A and B are shown apart, each in its own frame.
Chain A
Amino acid sequence: MGDFPSRSASTNAGGPGVTARHIRSAGNGVSPIPPDDRPPLGGGSALPRKSRFSLETGFKGLSTAAGAMVLVIIVAIAIFLISKAVPALNANDESFLTAKEWFPNETPPHFGIAALAFGTLLTSVIALLVAVPIALGIALFLSHYAPKRLATPLGFVIDLLAAVPSVVFGLWGRDVFSQPVQHFSEWLNKYFSWIPLFGGDGPFGRSILLGSLVLAIMVLPIVTSLSREVFQQTPGMNEDAALALGATKWEMIRTAVLPYGKPGVIAAVMLGLGRALGETIALALTLGTTFVISFNLIQSGGNSIAANIANTFGEANATGRGALIASGLVLFAITLVVNMAARAIIYRRREFRDSAA
């Protein structure tokens, strides 16, 4: 396994989490000493006096303000979404959390997020179930199976795919991919209609299955590139030790690579989940826009919070906008929790801090 140089020999020894030392170390671990923190070197009057208001304090204040801006934005997102959502929620005729239908523009307005939240979770979970095994396979291929001459350009292509806009995947899913998915759905329905997932009697075009598969294709590059980075960081010594004990390549991967990469893979999956939950346009173009809670995957239908916002924003009145903002608030809360959990896992193993972009 000499082809895969490991970076982790030095990073392995670090303590848990992001420590103060970690933040301090700028550039090759040599910490710059801010000149102002040093004690006077004797002969005090020989040194120039520190002025109270200098460019230094100004610049420091400016950069601190820029850093704090991030916190300000996150808090502001919560505050402004809540402030616009509350009037609509007060006008709502039904329970926001349990109602399924979405009629915020009528008088009296009645809407609820149950069906939308269900659709969001269902599509994301199916997308991950499809994408994660394949993504891990590709990640292992790139890190341990492919010759280096093939792995580098292939990894480059995967990174490029992560940059393709979601509207392109949505357009492709609606115009091209829906045909084979429809045939597949009809086939599933013909032979497996006794399973409730594949029941119903059509039509079978823009279904949860189509939306989830398009989502899966979109999440694939993210999960792949993060997992690949983690797998590549497996200590070469662990791999060599496993091989020296007589393990086959697969046994080496199972005993050395996968356990080492587990936290990183979990984090990658959760980041993929975050992306899938918030995906808007691809789902707006591929889902069938219904407001029911149903596990049927192949019948036309399905919806998600984000797709609903994109689809119904055009004809929304003031209350309608407030209702959409309220649903966006729910989405914000869900993704915030998922992302914070993922980042917390990544921070616990600081080897991965470089790969988590």
Chain B
Amino acid sequence: MSLLERETSGVVMTPDNIRTRKLPVAIDLGIAVVALVLAAAIVLGAGIGNWVLVIVVGAILYLVGLYFAAGRVEGKRAAKNKIARAMIYSACILAVLPLASVVWTLVSKGAARLDGDFFGSSMNNIGARDANGGAYHAIIGTLEQVGIATLMAVPLGVLGAIYLVEYGRGRFALTVRFFVDVMTGIPSIVAGLFVLAFWVLIVSPWFNNGTPRFSGFAASLALTVLMLPTIVRSTEEMLRLVPGPLREGAYALGVPQWKTILRVVLPTALPGIVTGVMLAVARAAGETAPVLLVAGGAAAINMDPFSGNQSSLSLFVYQQASDASKFAPDRAWTAALTLVALVLILTIAAKLLARRNRLS
């Protein structure tokens, strides 16, 4: 528009005037300052809120002002473009704030009990007035439960993925694939209730003179249900990336299909499979609800996952959070920090391993 006018008026075309006009940055900043001052005057003057409201009102005023200023200088469409960008940037800032707060609280509050006592003792005989006590039993529980769950879920998941990629044909394979995806969305509490109904209430009385019994193994079963679909999916993706000619080369040499899978396909896809397993383990380690329902939680150290109540780190956090003792929040936050560190180390290691993977 302005470009055409200028052309007809016979001005010499320079790089400066053949570009469309832009709102100067100074004016942009000026609008921001004016908006903030105006917002402060309105909000604090009328006494209807504090600095948070000032920022919110200021942001709205800034967007309105920017829209009109940019609309005058650059045109309506460009103004909309600017507003959209401002809103997308503010969405990012808005999301970063709570997440930064979570991280900051974890580190600052979690450091309070980060001592040897915390990692070396249990909550046995710790009363409401005792400041010490630790999560040793919970760490043991987490490691045992997640370890057993991994031992059960990995063979099952990898074999299931082999079926989907190498053998599965037709409607049945499609159904299995679909329900693997659906199963990733099953709430952890439902998996816990399932193991409660199936293992704790129906099967465990057979071994225990007719009375139901909580155990760490039951928690492992629930975690297996949660890990299985994740492992199947990630392994399946990796197996699909193995080049077909590798398989055909093996077949051409007369190797049977099962041996091809075990000796050629799986080793090629191994780093990717390990990555998927580690992500699943990280997810399982953070689950609270199933452990609460079927392992019961305990204050003392229980090394035997097959009998008696057991705790886990996440359950420890939950129970300490609900505890009335004034020392409980410190323990809860330190356990939360330990848990997050464990999960993040696993996740980051998995992602780094994935980066070194040559297949993807």
Answer yes or no: do A and B interact.
yes
Beyond A63-B167, A217-B99, A278-B189, whether A70 also contacts B288 by CB under 8 A is no
Which residues from 240 to 259 on chain B have a C-beta closer than 8 Å to any C-beta of chain A? 240-248, 251, 256-259
Which residues from 151 to 210 on chain B have a C-beta closer than 8 Å to any C-beta of chain A? 155-157, 159-160, 162-170, 173-191, 193-194, 196-198, 201-202
Scoring B residues 253 to 286 as 1 if CB is less than 8 Å from chain A, else 0, what string do you get? Answer: 0001111010000000000000000010011011
Please pick, from B91, B176, B198, B261, the residue contacting A76 in the complex, using a CB distance under 8 A: B198
The interface-forming segment of B9-17, B24-32, B129-137, B338-346 is B338-346
Q: Is chain A's binding surface mostly helix, strand, loop or mixed?
A: helix
Measured in the bound complex, the distance between the Cα atoms of B279 and A335 in whole Å is: 23
With both chains docked as a complex, state the minimum distance between the C-beta of B99 and any C-beta of chain A, in angstroms: 6
Q: Size of chain A's interface in residues, with CB distance under 8 A?
A: 109
Minimum CB distance partner of B174 in chain A: A18
Measured in the bound complex, the distance between the Cα atoms of B315 and A170 in whole Å is: 12
Beyond A32-B244, A67-B164, A138-B95, whether A285 also contacts B193 by CB under 8 A is no
Beyond A30-B244, A328-B193, whether A163 also contacts B185 by CB under 8 A is no
B184 partner residues in chain A, CB cutoff 8 A: 339, 357
Measured in the bound complex, the distance between the Cα atoms of B340 and A56 in whole Å is: 44
Contact B234 A66, beta carbon cutoff 8 Å? no
Contact A30 B243, beta carbon cutoff 8 Å? yes
Beyond A20-B170, A80-B198, A357-B233, whether A338 also contacts B185 by CB under 8 A is yes
Asked if B317 is an interface residue, CB under 8 A from chain A, the answer is: yes
- A-B pair number, CB within 8 angstroms: 320
The interface-forming segment of A92-100, A110-118, A294-302, A340-348 is A340-348
Beyond A30-B245, A71-B179, A164-B286, whether A66 also contacts B163 by CB under 8 A is yes
Please pick, from B85, B98, B183, the residue contacting A74 in the complex, using a CB distance under 8 A: B183
Measured in the bound complex, the distance between the Cα atoms of B261 and A145 in whole Å is: 44
Asked if A332 is an interface residue, CB under 8 A from chain B, the answer is: yes
Asked if B139 is an interface residue, CB under 8 A from chain A, the answer is: no
Measured in the bound complex, the distance between the Cα atoms of B173 and A60 in whole Å is: 13
Minimum CB distance partner of A220 in chain B: B95
Asked if B39 is an interface residue, CB under 8 A from chain A, the answer is: no
Measured in the bound complex, the distance between the Cα atoms of B251 and A357 in whole Å is: 32
Scoring B residues 279 to 321 as 1 if CB is less than 8 Å from chain A, else 0, what string do you get? Answer: 1001101111100110000000000000000000010011001
Contact B102 A278, beta carbon cutoff 8 Å? no
Contact A310 B166, beta carbon cutoff 8 Å? no
The interface-forming segment of A3-11, A195-203, A246-254 is A246-254
Which residues from 309 to 341 on chain A have a C-beta closer than 8 Å to any C-beta of chain B? 309-310, 313, 321, 324-325, 328, 331-332, 335-336, 338-340
Asked if B48 is an interface residue, CB under 8 A from chain A, the answer is: yes
Beyond A35-B257, A163-B347, whether A83 also contacts B197 by CB under 8 A is yes
A91 partner residues in chain B, CB cutoff 8 A: none
The interface-forming segment of A173-181, A204-212, A232-240 is A173-181
Q: Which residues of A are at the interface with B, using a C-beta cutoff of 8 A?
A: 18, 20, 23-36, 54-56, 58-60, 62-71, 73-74, 76-77, 80-81, 83-84, 133-138, 140-141, 145, 156, 159-161, 163-172, 174-177, 180, 187, 191, 217, 220, 248-251, 253, 271, 274-275, 277-281, 284-285, 306, 309-310, 313, 321, 324-325, 328, 331-332, 335-336, 338-340, 342-343, 346-347, 354, 356-357
Q: Which residues of B are at the interface with A, using a C-beta cutoff of 8 A?
A: 48-49, 52-53, 77-78, 80-81, 84-85, 87-92, 94-95, 98-99, 101-102, 105-106, 109, 155-157, 159-160, 162-170, 173-191, 193-194, 196-198, 201-202, 225, 228-230, 232-234, 237, 239-248, 251, 256-259, 261, 279, 282-283, 285-289, 292-293, 314, 317-318, 321-322, 329, 332-333, 336, 339-340, 343-344, 347-348, 351
User: Can you offer 24 A-B residue contacts whose CB atoms are under 8 A?
Assistant: A18-B178, A20-B169, A54-B256, A66-B159, A67-B163, A70-B176, A71-B179, A73-B228, A137-B92, A145-B89, A163-B286, A163-B347, A165-B288, A165-B339, A167-B339, A248-B80, A250-B84, A281-B314, A281-B318, A310-B189, A332-B186, A339-B184, A343-B182, A347-B178
